[in-house]
Amino acid sequence: MSGMLELADVHPPIAALIEEQLQQVAFIFERQLASDLSAVNALCLHIENYRGKMLRPTLVLLSGLAGGGLPCDGSCLTEKHRTIAAVAEMIHMATLVHDDVLDEADIRRGGSTVNRLWGNETAVMLGDYLISNAFHLCSTVDDPSINLALGEVTNTLCEGELIQLYHRNDCGLDEETYLEIVRRKTASLIAECCRLGAAISGSDPRTCEAMKNYGSTLGVAFQIQDDLLDLIGEEDVVGKSLGRDMIKGKITLPIICHLKNVNQTQRGEALRLIAENGTDALRDHLHQSGAVERATEIAAGLIEDAKGQLTHLPAGEPRDLLMTLADAIITRSR
Amino acid sequence: MSGMLELADVHPPIAALIEEQLQQVAFIFERQLASDLSAVNALCLHIENYRGKMLRPTLVLLSGLAGGGLPCDGSCLTEKHRTIAAVAEMIHMATLVHDDVLDEADIRRGGSTVNRLWGNETAVMLGDYLISNAFHLCSTVDDPSINLALGEVTNTLCEGELIQLYHRNDCGLDEETYLEIVRRKTASLIAECCRLGAAISGSDPRTCEAMKNYGSTLGVAFQIQDDLLDLIGEEDVVGKSLGRDMIKGKITLPIICHLKNVNQTQRGEALRLIAENGTDALRDHLHQSGAVERATEIAAGLIEDAKGQLTHLPAGEPRDLLMTLADAIITRSR
């Protein structure tokens, strides 16, 4: 958590409560993956190192608190919240493991990726094992509506990844299509985490809808920041392989902004650098053309929209923390 | 269906009934995968060619009939049977798409594989899309116990694949471990298809258990026959890339039997051929040492056990067809 945001600076008792709940989420996560096969357990132990920000579980819990009314003493948070928080993290983890195969990435959270250590085959199957366990764990809460909702979200998530692959190396990709990809592949799950957290606490439909919109908008901003870091971040700070987007032909928002901002000569130069995976050389151009600034602005605008959704919520500590978390999404350097 | 077994030779009206139900299953399958994105639809259209034997849906339906009592007029088969049949086929299809990535296979059902046509990345994501849709479709039947049961099965299935990868190139793999891998990666889903078919028809626990045992035993025999065909089949008859097991370091039952049957010199020769992927050269040795015969015997023994489980069922057309289907599992050449 500490890398992402300092909830403790805002409301220490609530931050401590979330921290304690996250430990229970981690316990549920580990218990679900325990197998009678030691070879399987060794793999699962490795990917537990991938659990860094715990953004999705945090959002389930904070949305659960926000939807639970006052006083905010944590009594509204149930085993159902914690289980769904673990499910969301497991789905996310599965996408990380498969993304690393797709990206041929070597580093994740400062350690070696599964594909790097055990090969692509094991990474593909381990990702499948995580998806399967996520759905199995989800079924244990005995609420078919949640199975249905999360199944729909993972369909959407995969569609996002598939359109992204379809547009690989497409330097004509426009902002609208980019945002559609990001809404599906990243924001859909984050939005559902926020909606489910509130819904499990018994929130009214309007609050659930506001939480979903908050998560969706924040999710897009989160991905824009990820894409910015892949281009202009520092690998030892971010803790994963960088410059992979360009190598894998993913055209992201800063590039789209750059190609829109520059003249014909500069555009030709940029296309040449993209074709040659010249991330280092392109970095200066992205700053000079204002593309980095523009992408940052777009993300900042989305964060303002996300915070605007929170005005539908009653004032209180959970709302303050959701505000703080939204700001941290785009100020993070990893 | 025709490639697998000729149900029509046994009970034409019931065979026609199953055929008609399978068309409805195919319709549910296609409707589930329909996306608002044309790029996604194009991929799904391609993998519909993979639907060949429809073994798992057939087993759900036949078990549903067998568990539905007499007269066997098909009235016991519900939308729930057909939906679960489609779910099972979708799970199976996902494993095919990911298996082809793992096996670096080029051919599937006589056509090109997804990884061959669109690359490994798209094949990984398409497999994920199929898994996700399978769970989503499963959630639509609004029966959490089925979600839970199928989630458990897919966990087991992935574990089977993971231990198989762990034992890659392990020429010391024994028959017991081989059977454990096969029980998990192949038989678990087939067993659950049989159990669920009967359970949805309201069968008593004893019948459900017998159907599960039937499916589990038959599933192991099915995989042994697949492994035999990979070694001694003909590619244009089988319709998929052959000899892949050896190339990918999968030690299967015929090889295990061979290494057990031969003297030290022959063993050394076999290990050399395995290391060099000399499937063609090894084929004659496998016949000469009696390894092919032995593996065939083991599969035949399992089929007898599977048929033995059917004695717990009332006599009738569905039982006859399940008997016929069991025999067809090991007489098939593709």
> Could you tell me if residue A66 is inside a domain?
yes
pLDDT of residue B288 exceeding 70, the answer is: yes
pLDDT of residue B52: 75
Distance from CA of A124 to the nearest CA of B (A): 7
> Could you tell me if residue B35 is inside a domain?
yes
pLDDT of residue B250: 92
Q: Convert the pLDDT of each residue in B131-147 to its tens digit.
A: 999 999 999 999 999 99
> Could you tell me if residue A2 is inside a domain?
no
Q: What CATH number did the domain enclosing A24 receive?
A: 1.10.600.10
Contact B147 A144 (CB under 8 A): yes
pLDDT of residue A122 exceeding 60, the answer is: yes
pLDDT of residue A51 exceeding 90, the answer is: no
User: Does B128 touch chain A if contact means CB atoms closer than 8 Å?
Assistant: yes
CA A92, A97, A98: angle at the middle one, nearest 5?
95
Pick B159's closest partner by Cβ from A35, A154, A166. A35
Pick A37's closest partner by Cβ from B126, B152, B159. B159
pLDDT of residue A5: 53
Q: Determine contact, residues A310/A319, Cβ cutoff 8 Å.
A: yes
φ, ψ of residue A287 in degrees (nearest 5):
-70, -50
Categorize the per-residue pLDDT at B298 as very low, low, confident or very high, splitting at 50, 70 and 90. very high
User: Does A148 touch chain B if contact means CB atoms closer than 8 Å?
Assistant: yes
- Mean pLDDT value of segment B301-314: 96
Q: How many domains does chain A have?
A: 1
Q: What residues form DSSP beta bridges with B112? A: B107
pLDDT of residue B4: 47
Pick A40's closest partner by Cβ from B43, B140, B159. B159
Using a pLDDT cut of 90, give the percent of chain B over it: 69
Length of chain A: 334
Cα–Cα distance, A21 to A82 (Å, whole number):
7
Q: Determine contact, residues B119/B106, Cβ cutoff 8 Å.
A: no
Other CB atoms closer than 10 Å to residue B99's CB: what's the count? 21
User: What range does the domain containing A19 cover?
Assistant: 7-331
Q: Determine contact, residues A177/B137, Cβ cutoff 8 Å.
A: no
Contact B39 A98 (CB under 8 A): no
A203's torsion region: left (phi>0), alpha (psi -120 to 50) or beta?
beta
Helix axes A144-166, B144-166, angle to 10 degrees: 50
Looking at chain A, which runs of residues are DSSP E strands? 107-108, 111-112
> Could you tell me if residue B178 is inside a domain?
yes
Dihedral, B264, B268, B274, B279 alpha carbons, nearest 10: -80
pLDDT of residue A269: 94
Contact B132 A39 (CB under 8 A): no
Q: What residues form DSSP beta bridges with B111? A: B108
pLDDT of residue A72: 77
- Mean pLDDT value of segment B210-228: 97
> Could you tell me if residue B267 is inside a domain?
yes
Distance from CA of B193 to the nearest CA of A (A): 17
Using a pLDDT cut of 70, give the percent of chain A over it: 98
Pick the residue from chain A with its C-alpha nearest to B139.
A148
> Could you tell me if residue B152 is inside a domain?
yes
For chain B, the average pLDDT equals 91
Contact B163 A98 (CB under 8 A): no
Q: A217-231, B31-45, B113-127: which has the minimum mean pLDDT?
A: B113-127
User: Does A160 touch chain B if contact means CB atoms closer than 8 Å?
Assistant: no
Residues 37-66 of chain B whose Cβ lies under 8 A from any Cβ of chain A? 37, 39-40, 43
Pick the residue from chain A with its C-alpha nearest to B151.
A136
Categorize the per-residue pLDDT at A3 as very low, low, confident or very high, splitting at 50, 70 and 90. very low
> Could you tell me if residue B199 is inside a domain?
yes
For chain A, the average pLDDT equals 91
Q: Using CB atoms within 10 Å of the CB of residue A176, give its burial: 0 to 12 exposed, 13 to 18 middle, 19+ buried.
A: exposed
Using a pLDDT cut of 90, give the percent of chain A over it: 69
pLDDT of residue A210: 97
User: Between A262 and A72, where is the model more confident?
Assistant: A262
Q: Does residue B112 sit in helix, strand or coil? A: strand
Looking at chain B, which runs of residues are DSSP E strands? 107-108, 111-112
Q: What ipTM was reported for this prediction?
A: 0.92
pLDDT of residue B171: 93
pLDDT of residue B2: 39
